[in-house]
Structure 1
Amino acid sequence: MRLALYTGIILSGGCICLNPALAADPTGDWRVADGVANIRVAQCNGSMWGAVSWEKKPGGRDENNPDVSKKNRPTLGMPTLLDMKKKAGADQWEGQVYNAQDGQTYSATITPVGTDQLEIKGCVMGFLCGGETWTRVGPPIPLSPANAMAKGTPKAPGAAPKAQGTQQAPQQAAQPPQATTGATATAPAAKTAATKPGQKSAADPVGDICLLPEIAGLAH
């Protein structure tokens, strides 16, 4: 049973000291402390969600899940941070974390520290709290295209300025897709994945985690 603790939660005593003054964007790809996986964090309809975006040892299965129907699901793309809400007055998000090691879900918080660290802390029934620090390996993720139509979600910046000029706006609106198509052919793969997180490829089989069925069904 070599499934790694993808959530990074270690249920042992200890204190994590937070530094709100250095808080930053929690979205992006993060390497867990023991280096066995990356967790992609994105904002999906107002909440932060996280899913496994890379595994050091491919082919993992969620074999410890108490739900028999999920025991054979791939750990790649598996939701780990669940519906985490912004805490009022603090750069911290509260919600739940799924622990693949024991198949249980716990209360948890995530707190960005600077631009390249994310501290995660989880508790069992309000005690036995512990956690660790993840390291950034991917840039912050823009708001998911899947959420552009979500209720209460602001429309993408640039839509309003394009509205000036009644007849020119449609022409300008039609231009970006053509420019993007041309750029895709010459741009490096890494840049394409960063600008289009919903696009899946051999290098990034997960894509936009907001579009994963298990997240989309709860986030929208």
Structure 2
Amino acid sequence: MLHCLRTVARTIVYSGIILATGLNAATAADPTGDWKVADGVANIRVAQCNGNMWGVVSWEKTPGGKDKNNPDVAKQSRPTLGMPILIDMKKKPGVDAWEGEVYNAKDGQNYSSTIKPIGTDQLEIQGCVLGFLCGGETWTRVGPPIPSSSSNSMAKGAPKGPAGAPPKTAAPAPAQPKTTGAVNPAPASKAAPGQKQAAGQPGDIGDICLLPDIARFAH
């Protein structure tokens, strides 16, 4: 009887180890979330939008940056906060890696790029110019993975109802729903009477799949 109990106990322990290993592997392969770049000047929020990975600047050490090196004059005044950095990255078959383009704000150019999670807390990014002169860096996780939700379809535009259907009365908005490209923001603190929010300290950028530069590309 004692021998049987020991066998059962070993089976439970081994099963737990296998389950934990499987969960860790699944987490390790998730590139979504907020990541601090190697030199610490910005965080990049990565989320799945329409099946592919996108990444935008979600925080910058020095607020108020502009995309001044963009060759498109019309974009040189756009804020770097919320600017796409990882562009339409597709899953590579058979491996935990995604490939697409990376935007380098230092020279205003797009380069071929691959991202690959290393464990649960690091993201390796490799970029190449015309297939050679490859270089890269490792980003560090600062925000949890972002669960998938209906924002994937929202990035394509709101669904249209049947023709001739009367408009529905707006229902009260649910409290802070989770979306594909958003993480839970910290509770907002109440300012004292007459006190304004500090300049250059914007709130959380929210669901990146709904940002114009991504939603427009997804149509």
Scaled to the shorter chain, the TM-score interval is: 0.5 to 0.7
2:69 is the alignment partner of 1:61: no
- Where in structure 1 are there 5+ consecutive unaligned residues? 1-19, 152-173, 184-190, 195-201
Could you tell me which of 44, 48, 52 is aligned with 1:43? 48
Equivalent position of 2:106 in the other structure: 101
Q: Deviations over 1:114-144 (max 9, x none)?
A: 1100000000000000100000000011125
Could you tell me which of 92, 95, 107 is aligned with 2:97? 92
In structure 2, what is the Cα distance between the partners aligned to 1:148 and 1:22? 24
Percent of residue pairs identical? 73
Question: Deviation of residue 24 (structure 1)?
Answer: 2.0
Q: Greater relative contact order (Cα 8 A, min sep 6): structure 1 or 2?
A: 1
In structure 1, what is the Cα distance between the partners aligned to 2:44 and 2:107? 18
| Structure index of larger Rg | 2
**What is the Cα-based RMSD across aligned positions, in Å?**
2.8
- Where in structure 2 are there 5+ consecutive unaligned residues? 1-24, 157-170, 178-182, 187-200
In structure 2, what is the Cα distance between the partners aligned to 1:125 and 1:192? 38
SS at match of 2:216: helix
- Give the letter aligned to residue 146 of structure 1: S
- Normalising by structure 1, we get a TM-score of 0.67
Q: Structure 1 149/78 Cα, relative in aligned 2: closer, same or farther at 3 Å?
A: closer
Question: Deviation of residue 145 (structure 1)?
Answer: 3.4
In structure 2, what is the Cα distance between the partners aligned to 1:204 and 1:93? 29
Could you tell me which of 118, 121, 124 is aligned with 1:119? 124
The answer (yes or no) to whether the contact 1:97–1:105 under 8 Å persists in 2 is yes
2:185 is the alignment partner of 1:193: yes
Equivalent position of 2:218 in the other structure: 219
Could you tell me which of 113, 136, 142 is aligned with 1:131? 136
Q: Structure 1 212/77 Cα, relative in aligned 2: closer, same or farther at 3 Å?
A: same
- Give the letter aligned to residue 185 of structure 2: A
The alignment covers a number of residue pairs equal to 163
